[in-house]
Chains A and B, each alone.
Chain A
């Protein structure tokens, strides 16, 4: 096999034994299977991928810089737009980082609702992953089934927050508002129908031999490599590493929920697929448990200088009104310091590094995005594979370009 190495300028240098058939192929940025605007610079020998270089930045928005010009509370809306398939997870990571700096205690009910919504969002996110990764490999039907399930969840999220893709439901210190009346019954209704949907997926894809032959033994990454490249989330657990931040560094009361962390050892597309499918069941279990725990109670922390007062209070009491004015107009000061807070988002470890200089706006907010780091390991998996398998591998990484190009 001919091999090529990069020289300093990024041009390929074909080493000895070069074949005439070697060529460079740009896959994307407008390609139906690249999940957004990702360009892959592929060096091919026939159909064999010798080198794969992800080229990102087509969606760059400068969001991280934008945080520096927004008050802490306003930053929440920016997080929605990063990993737009998992906006509630992003909200959670961001508000928890700020809460860590402020030292806020979040009441029980708010915690439970956060877990409930995040797990629903995880199911929705996995639905998109499942639908699109099948679509990439030519299986069109599952897509419609998964988007039906996702639609149900988006309706629930819309019912709670008012937004479908951009909920901004969490606030520093609690939630935007309480769940609407009857919400738990609607979630139960969704959950009752969900196993049926899982069965459908099994019939269509999981037990399908065509699917097995497309995924088994494709895009292998070893345990050591997966750790070295910093993979997180289902992509890491597909390689046999049992790391889930919900278990390793529990937050929002995850330590009290009963769920398993699925781990597969083969490190191929099929393993990552199985991990995610299993996670759907686990999320389903967590949502069920969270529903049981929904007890009436406050949804905002007791911090009148940070958290907006209750609206009725604000209308009736002068001091609440004054606090309301001050918080909205000037924001709140966050004590000087820096924190890193990571949560298990649907795609892996979503970390927020936040630095405060004591003012109402953060000095720096940085996101450790799981898609970005998982994508960097793509060459390891794709090199030596056939070009048709590259789309399978991209699909199995579950990347979202909005979060890669922050």
Chain B
């Protein structure tokens, strides 16, 4: 008799569960059809870095090496150079700039310590997370890849923006396509 009872009880349990599962069908979908649909990232999301420039397009970085010192995985390589020319002709905003600025994305752990360390707001995290490459050497990104003026933003993410969500202590950039995606 107990076998019969077991079978009945188990069937009831399965049906109950099935009911709950099926009731999920008309509800809001949580999965995202990436890469056909963009993924939503939060405003503070730590993606690939951006090296910033000022209004006149001069690089903000003064090659102070603080980001390199703060980096827990030692993946920032900088070569500094003095540039005594007048502001209009200079590369950087100040008289010193980073001739070479490399980040090795094979090592970077996206911790944000470099951003926290930079006294000039010259480096921030962008939102790009699509960093896979076919060749490991390509993970070494140079200034050419990192400068905000040179980066091409991917269509595969959008930043969650909503009136109460916007908050930025040292993230001044905003990408386009900001719709209210707060779920």
Chain A interface residues (CB < 8 Å from chain B):
70, 73-75, 77-78, 141, 148, 151-152, 155, 158-163, 166, 168, 176-178, 180-182, 185-186, 200, 203-204, 207-211, 213, 308, 311, 314-315, 321, 324-325, 328-329
Does B109 lie within 8 Å of A158, measured CB to CB? no
Q: List the count of A-B residue pairs having beta carbons below 8 Å apart.
A: 107
Q: Mark B159-183, 1 if CB is under 8 A from A, else 0.
A: 0101111110110000000000011
Query: How far, in angstroms, from A178 to B117 measured CA to CA in the complex?
Result: 17
Chain B CB within 10 Å, residue with most, of A148, A151, A162, A321: A162
Instruction: Give 17 new A-B contacts, CB below 8 A, not counting A148-B30, A155-B183, A208-B13.
Output: A70-B72, A158-B44, A158-B45, A159-B43, A159-B160, A161-B44, A162-B45, A176-B116, A178-B169, A180-B166, A180-B167, A181-B167, A209-B6, A324-B117, A325-B119, A328-B66, A329-B69
Query: How far, in angstroms, from A159 to B43 measured CA to CA in the complex?
Result: 7
Task: Give the chain A neighbours of B65 by CB distance below 8 A.
Answer: 329
> Whole-angstrom distance from the CB of B122 to the nearest CB of chain A?
13
> Whole-angstrom distance from the CB of B7 to the nearest CB of chain A?
10
Query: How far, in angstroms, from A200 to B162 measured CA to CA in the complex?
Result: 30
Does A77 lie within 8 Å of B69, measured CB to CB? no
Q: Which A-B residue pairs are the 7 nearest by beta carbons?
A: A182-B164, A180-B167, A162-B44, A74-B72, A162-B46, A159-B42, A208-B13
The verdict on B112 contacting chain A, using a C-beta distance below 8 Å, is yes
A sample of 9 inter-chain contacts (CB < 8 A) reads A158-B44, A158-B45, A160-B44, A166-B111, A182-B165, A203-B17, A204-B21, A328-B66, A328-B70
The answer to whether residues A155 and B42 also contact, given A181-B165, A209-B6 and a CB cut-off of 8 A, is yes
The verdict on B100 contacting chain A, using a C-beta distance below 8 Å, is no
Query: How far, in angstroms, from A148 to B5 measured CA to CA in the complex?
Result: 34
Does B43 lie within 8 Å of A180, measured CB to CB? yes
Query: How far, in angstroms, from A166 to B44 measured CA to CA in the complex?
Result: 13
The verdict on B10 contacting chain A, using a C-beta distance below 8 Å, is yes
Does A141 lie within 8 Å of B21, measured CB to CB? yes
**Partner pick for A163 among B14, B20, B110, CB 8 A cutoff:** B110
Task: Give the chain B neighbours of A329 by CB distance below 8 A.
Answer: 65-66, 69
Query: How far, in angstroms, from A185 to B165 measured CA to CA in the complex?
Result: 10
Task: Give the chain A neighbours of B37 by CB distance below 8 A.
Answer: none
Does A209 lie within 8 Å of B43, measured CB to CB? no
Task: Give the chain B neighbours of A159 by CB distance below 8 A.
Answer: 42-44, 160, 165
Does B112 lie within 8 Å of A311, measured CB to CB? no
Task: Give the chain B neighbours of A177 by CB distance below 8 A.
Answer: 169
Does A181 lie within 8 Å of B164, measured CB to CB? yes
Does A166 lie within 8 Å of B109, measured CB to CB? yes
